[in-house]
């Protein structure tokens, strides 16, 4: 397993992972294009990938412009191996090295993602979009959680 910063060349494989997930599926896959993914990597933030046998099997992306987690997905064939946690931690370490502003994300209720974020210390902050749970993470909580690990 190789973890590294995502590049523009990774975007097609990131899209494969995004479209393969079983939870938090896109209602309209045409709304998340390769151009949008490139914009998040180049202009809005930074992304990371996990690569196994030259294939992207997971990726994450945080935006310092929008102060949110834009993506954290692992291909269903590679879940429960710690890939999501590692990508999550790399992403938040980078984000909080850039700013101390809270970061937010949203996810569907009743999913493994919801449980994952709660275990990672994210705090529920209301609703977002069409019934998704909005979570927030502060710099202080992130640093406290890292010390406990």
* C-alpha–C-alpha distance, residues 77 and 142, integer Å: 29
User: What are the extents of the domains in the chain?
Assistant: 2-148
What is the model's pLDDT at position 27? 63
| 86-131 pLDDT per residue, tens | 999 999 999 999 999 999 999 999 999 999 999 999 999 988 878 8
Name residues whose C-beta falls within 8 Å of residue 82's C-beta, 6 or more positions apart in sequence.
Answer: none
The superfamily (CATH) of domain 2-148 is Gcn5-related N-acetyltransferase (GNAT) (3.40.630.30)
What is the model's pLDDT at position 23? 75
Q: What is the pTM of this model?
A: 0.91
């Amino acid at each position: 397993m190789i973890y590294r910063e995502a590049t523009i060349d990774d975007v097609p494989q990131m899209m494969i992972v995004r479209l393969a997930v079983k939870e938090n599926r896109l209602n309209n896959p045409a709304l998340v294009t390769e151009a949008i993914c490139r914009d998040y990597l180049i202009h809005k933030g930074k992304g990371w990938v996990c690569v196994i046998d030259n294939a992207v099997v997971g990726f994450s992306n945080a935006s310092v412009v929008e102060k949110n987690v834009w993506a954290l997905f692992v291909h269903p064939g590679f879940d429960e191996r710690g890939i999501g946690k590692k990508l999550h931690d790399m992403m938040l370490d980078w984000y909080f090295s850039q700013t101390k502003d809270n970061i937010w994300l949203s996810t569907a209720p009743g999913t493994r993602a919801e449980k994952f974020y709660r275990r990672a210390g994210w705090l529920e902050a209301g609703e977002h979009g069409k019934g998704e749970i909005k979570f927030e993470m502060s710099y202080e909580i992130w640093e406290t959680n890292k010390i406990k690990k």
